Amino acid sequence: MAGVRVKTVADPYSEHAKDWAEKLGIEQLVSNHEIIFNDAEINCVFICSPTDTHTTMIKAAAKAGKNIFCEKPISFSDEETIEAFKAVEKAGVKLQIGFNRRFDKNFDRVKKCVATGKIGELHILKITSRDPEPPGLDYVKSSGGLFMDMAIHDFDMARFVSGSEVEEVYVQGAALINPEFASLGDVDTAIITLKFANGALGVIDNSRKAVYGYDQRVEAFGSNGAVEIGNETETLAKLSTNSGVELDQPLHFFLERYNEAYIREVQEFFEAIQKDKAVPCSFEDGIMAQRIAQAAKLSLTTGKPVRVTKLIK
């Protein structure tokens, strides 16, 4: 990317990444991330660490005057997230949240069809999001669970595509793939219904294991029509013979499916810095997706619909 130089990468296991860093021409590979915050030459940082470290790093980076890109979610609590954002505001730096699906050309097309009224008034938004393999139990323990770790992308897409806030959430969930998830207070399969402020209704279905690949589909249905996107596949070839019809399976996982989206979100982050304009995915987007995830977890626990806490500006 023009005008951008990667100077330092910090990772607790940096000794295992020396060949990787050398191959990419990265100048410094260190184990202590504070080296980055203390480097006056560096003016932006990417925080791609476990969620429970995000707010501490955001505050440290902001204090050091760095612009910040932080992976989702910002934290597991409103208090920590708001405290981090206050540090960002005080420092006058930019903070972009890593909801990469906003930058996917397919989702963007659906949003534009809704926003421009091509399908009339939005009535139903359906999102299918299913991973090819479930994570290990050690990961689940610290991830925040299905709603905060996985479905949070879908909550952000629901707000993004509909152009409306989610007011209420109702969840049915179960541990159908790995019963041990239940012992951690989590599920691996869920149906989530949403009620939007604009009157539309939403349905999200999540699974931690789709044996055929990474299943990512969206449909927006309205008063004048519908728009939908299917899965990305390696090719569009369809083989038809007397024994059946064959299509390629969906791309394996998020790195393959959303490669272009990852590149675009980073490009737009740098552009916001270079042209001093607002970032395309803000603190507000981060905390509202987080609040929907919290409401979803509470709904699963109580068996009742839960109102989503509004953001008071």
Q: What is the pLDDT of residues 155-199, one digit of tens each?
A: 999 999 999 999 999 999 999 999 999 999 999 999 999 999 999
Give pLDDT, residue 226. Answer: 98
- For 27, phi then psi, to 5°, come to -70, -40
Q: What is the pLDDT of residues 28-56, one digit of tens each?
A: 999 999 999 999 999 999 999 999 999 99
Percent of the chain residues past pLDDT 90, beyond the cut: 95
The residue ranking higher by pLDDT, 267 or 2, is 267
Average pLDDT on 118-129 reads 98
Q: What is the pLDDT of residues 234-252, one digit of tens each?
A: 998 999 999 999 999 998 8
What's the token pair of residue 141?
Answer: 């323990």
Band of pLDDT at residue 312, cut at 50, 70 and 90: low
Give pLDDT, residue 2. Answer: 83
Average pLDDT, the chain: 96
Cα 302 to chain centroid distance, Å, stands at 26
Residue type, 74: I
Give pLDDT, residue 252. Answer: 87
Task: Decide: 150 and 177 in contact? Cβ < 8 Å.
Answer: no
Q: What is the pLDDT of residues 263-298, one digit of tens each?
A: 999 999 999 999 999 999 999 999 999 999 999 999
Average pLDDT on 142-155 reads 96
Task: Decide: 106 and 212 in contact? Cβ < 8 Å.
Answer: no
Average pLDDT on 99-121 reads 97
| Domains defined along the chain, listed by start | 8-93 (3.40.50.720), 102-258+283-307 (3.30.360.10)
Whether pTM > 0.85 for this model: the answer is yes
Give pLDDT, residue 44. Answer: 97
Task: Decide: 147 and 166 in contact? Cβ < 8 Å.
Answer: no
Q: Helix, strand, coil % (nearest 5) of the chain?
A: 40, 25, 35
Residue type, 167: E
Q: What is the pLDDT of residues 205-226, one digit of tens each?
A: 999 999 999 999 999 999 999 9
- CB burial of 55-90 (b: ≥16 within 10 Å; e: otherwise) equals bebbbbbbebebbbbbbbbbbbeeebbeebbebbee
